[in-house]
Amino acid sequence: EAQVTQNPRYLITVTGKKLTVTCSQNMNHEYMSWYRQDPGLGLRQIYYSMNVEVTDKGDVPEGYKVSRKEKRNFPLILESPSPNQTSLYFCASSLFPGLAGVEQFFGPGTRLTVL
Partner 1 sequence: GENVEQHPSTLSVQEGDSAVIKCTYSDSASNYFPWYKQELGKRPQLIIDIRSNVGEKKDQRIAVTLNKTAKHFSLHITETQPEDSAVYFCAASSTDSNYQLIWGAGTKLIIKP
Which residues are near partner 1 by CB under 8 A? 33, 40-45, 48, 56, 58, 90, 96-101, 103-104, 106-109
- Closer CB to partner 1, residue 35 or residue 114? 35
Q: How far apart are the first and last CA of the chain?
A: 36
To partner 1, the closest distance from the beta carbon of 14 in angstroms equals 26
Spatial CA neighbour of 38 closest among 4, 106, 86: 86
To partner 1, the closest distance from the beta carbon of 10 in angstroms equals 12
- Closer CB to partner 1, residue 63 or residue 109? 109
To partner 1, the closest distance from the beta carbon of 68 in angstroms equals 16
To partner 1, the closest distance from the beta carbon of 112 in angstroms equals 16
Dihedral angle at the C-alpha atoms of 72, 20, 81, 41, nearest 10 degrees?
A: 40
Please give the Cα distance from 61 to 2 (Å, whole number).
28
Spatial CA neighbour of 13 closest among 56, 104, 93, 77: 77
- Closer CB to partner 1, residue 40 or residue 62? 40
Encoded amino acid at 103, one letter: E
- Closer CB to partner 1, residue 43 or residue 52? 43
